[in-house]
Every structure is written in structure tokens, then in C-alpha cells.
Amino acid sequence: MEQYYPYIKSLHLIFIITWFAGLFYIVRLFVYQIEASQKPSPDKEILGEQLKIMASRLWNIITWPSMILALFFGIWLISMRMFFIADAWMQVKLAFVVLLILYQFKCHQIFKQLQKGVVKYSSNYMRLFNEVPTIILFSVVFLVILKDGVNWIYGTVGIIIFAILLMMGYKIYKRIRESKNSGF
């Protein structure tokens, strides 16, 4: 079975990539759905229906299956190398995976609301919400590549600084966007 390890790992990585792609794009579609709900008729209805179809296809055909397959192949990999469970980096990685799964379930809740035409969040909130998987992705990639070479204190501080920089970048982008919309 060991000879299949690289193939299983490759499939795991492929489905991680498609899972993240789905998570990144679904929240962008949420932004567009929220903004479309604020437009006058008939744009509101036309855009709203098209965006619902796009979100449904992305969510049900790409994102959910990708998550399930990424987890399936990840569990398979761990079962082949159980000794990794004792490593601190793997435990932290699995904690990030749990966070990503919780993020997926929150996205599912928002998806269901928007499919029913219920808007509970602003488009600005969704833009910030879209940065959560980015932070998780950066964290996991560095964690997996560097493993025990990561000093946990510096790593944690680095992630916090990265999150702060993302938020600052978002605020700058928001100001630029608002100034363009106000005609200045």
C-alpha cells in the first residue's frame, strides 16, 4: 500500500486546491448576491437569479465534493502514517482543518439564506469574511512545509501580523473604492 502514498497525497492536494477555490469564489458570489439585492428592478431579479444558479452549482458540484474528497484522502494518508499524529505540527494543522470545516458550515448557512433571498450581512462584511480561508491557507502551507522548523511563537505572531495587514489592505481598498464611487 505504501507505493500508492504519493498518488493519494496528490489527490489530497488536488482536492484541497479545488476546495479552497470553491471557498474563495463562493464568498465573492455572496458579495455579488448581496450587492444585487440592493439594485432596482429588474436588475435585482435578473442578477439575483443568475447569481443563485452560479452559487448553487459552485457549492454543490465543486466545493462540497472537494471538501469531502480532500478529507477522505487526508484521513487515508494519516492512516498510512499514524506516527504523524504525535507530531505537534500535525496537531496544529488538524486544528486549522477543523477551523476550515467550521468556515465551510458557516458559508453553507449563508448560502442557504441567500438562496432564500435573506440578506443578513453586508458586502463589506463578506469581503472581510473572505480572508479567513486565506489566513488558514497561509498557516497550513507554512506549517506543513516547515514542520518542526517553525518557532511557534514567531509563527503565531506572523499569522497575527498577516491578518492585520490583510485588514489594513482591505480598509485602504474600501476607502479607494468609496472615493471612486463618490466621484472624487
- Distance from C-alpha of 144 to C-alpha of 165, rounded to nearest angstrom: 23
Q: Is 93 annotated as ligand-binding?
A: yes
Whether 140 and 96 have beta carbons less than 8 Å apart is answered as: yes
H-run or E-run covering 132 = helix 132-146
Q: Is 108 annotated as ligand-binding?
A: no
DSSP letter (8 states) at residue 39: S
Give CA separation, 145 vs 38, 51, 132, 152, in Å: 44, 37, 20, 14
Annotated binding-site residues for heme read: 12, 93
Annotated binding-site residues read: 12, 93
